[in-house]
Amino acid sequence: MKKTIFLSLVTLSLITNVYGNEAKTPAQIMQDALIKIEAIASTVSIDNNLSDINRTEANISNKVDDTFTLGKYGTFKFEKANDNVYIMHGPVVSPNKENQGFMNNPAVIESEHGLIVIDPGGNYNVGKKILAEIEKVSKKPIIAVLNTHKHGDHWFANKAIVEKYPKVDIYAHPNMIKVSQEGEAEIWYGILSRTTGNLEGTKAFAFPTKILKDAQKIEIDGQNFVIQHPPVAHTDTDILVAHMNSMTLFLGDNLMKGRLGSFDESSSILGNIELLENIKKETAFKLYVPGHGKSGKKDETIDMFLNYLKVLAEDGKKAYEDDKESYEVKDEIMKKLPWMNDWDAFAKNMPSHLNKVMQEIGEKELLEEDE
């Protein structure tokens, strides 16, 4: 508006000026006036270009400002991993203050009309940042969320998604929903609050509302999924999600790479081994996505973790049969696992994993004796 008024004033003063010059013919006067008007107009358009440039610079600096950065862990964004599949690989470490409780692998699957999110992250605040990164992939609405299991580092960020999309469907195995509501969510809230100090806004929990069972097939806006629920592996609440359109398998924490988590009382190391061996033998997906650590082809993602668990089980069995305690054999076993040395929490968690698998072996042998 201002610009139009300014231009009209300039035009008016020019025309007044030229008409004041009586030595020129009307055609010359008009010609002069046109040249001057064009000159002024081009100055104005240069100004426009400059303000466009300024605006672009403002955009660029905005982009730098809203990058998802976590101190020494660097910056995080979704990267295309397969057809219509985007994954943000979180820091491969335990939850802590510097990573703000973000250390899993949220994934986005783009359908024709919306987005499907798997395991959005570990708290409300991180969830808002992940939501902003999702919007850089696509502005389509989030139409569904899938949670792989009960551990809060994978699903507490549901809260940020529900805040923006109150009607979104959130899916999980019925065991996950039950134990989370009956106290597991509170336990994880305590763990993550102590380790990250970043749980503000996470309550009231955004629990999943829809259930997925073993062998269930589900289609969401043209995207086809097949669900597997192992009775007991990483926990007894897990689903593995096969995205058939892209041939991607999301294993949740039944697979880790570069970091060891803990096996709690609801888990089975022997069950986890059996599951991974079956997947290795029987599946041919293009992409395998662990709960923590880099995605990739079958062998490069599964072998290290599976071999680690198998060494624990085999040597643990031997120790059990020799009537030895886990602390007596752990140093020897650790030496057999050189490929695990640079994994986060290896030295810390390996002894308790060994202890756990020896317990399972003991229980199994007692059961077999009873039969």
Q: Whole-number minimum distance, CB 229 to Zn ion, in Å?
A: 15
Least CB distance to Zn ion at residue 263 (A): 9
**Smallest distance from Zn ion to CB 169, Å:** 22
Q: Minimum CB separation from Zn ion for residue 271, in Å?
A: 14
Cα(242)–Cα(228) distance, integer angstroms = 8
Task: Provide the minimum distance between the beta carbon of 123 and Zn ion in the complex, in angstroms, as a whole number.
Answer: 15
Shorter beta-carbon distance to Zn ion: residue 133 or 253: 253
Pick the closer one to Zn ion by CB: 256 or 361: 256
Q: What size, in residues, is the chain?
A: 371
| 141, HSE (Cβ side, Cα atoms, 13 Å) | 12
Q: Smallest distance from the beta carbon of 187 to Zn ion, in angstroms? A: 13
186-189 long-range contacts, CB within 8 A, separation 24+: 188/150, 188/151, 188/152, 188/153, 188/156, 189/152, 189/156
User: Which C-beta is closer to Zn ion: that of 151 or that of 356?
Assistant: 151
CB of 262 to Zn ion, least distance (A): 8
Residue with smaller CB distance to Zn ion, 107 or 333: 107
Name the minimum Å distance from CB 152 to Zn ion.
9
Handedness of CA 229, 235, 241, 247 (dihedral sign): negative
Q: Give the phi and the psi of residue 8 in degrees, each rounded to 5.
A: -60, -40
Return d(Cα 365, Cα 329) in angstroms, integer. 20
Nearer to Zn ion, 196 or 223 (CB): 196
What 40-45 contacts at long range (C-beta under 8 Å, 24+ apart), as own/partner pairs, is 40/7, 40/10, 40/14, 41/7, 44/3, 44/7
For Zn ion, the closer CB: 236 or 253: 253
Residue 139 tokens, joined? 């502005």
Per CB under 5 A, residues contacting Zn ion are 151, 253
When the beta carbons of 184 and 253 are compared against Zn ion, the nearer one is 253
Residue partners of 339: CB distance under 8 A and separation at least 6: 304, 307, 308
Distances in whole angstroms, Cα of residue 261 to Cα of each of 95, 169, 219, 300, 347: 10, 28, 32, 19, 12
Q: 230 CB contacts (<8 Å, ≥6 apart)?
A: 238, 240, 254, 271, 275
Beta carbon nearer to Zn ion, 198 or 237: 237
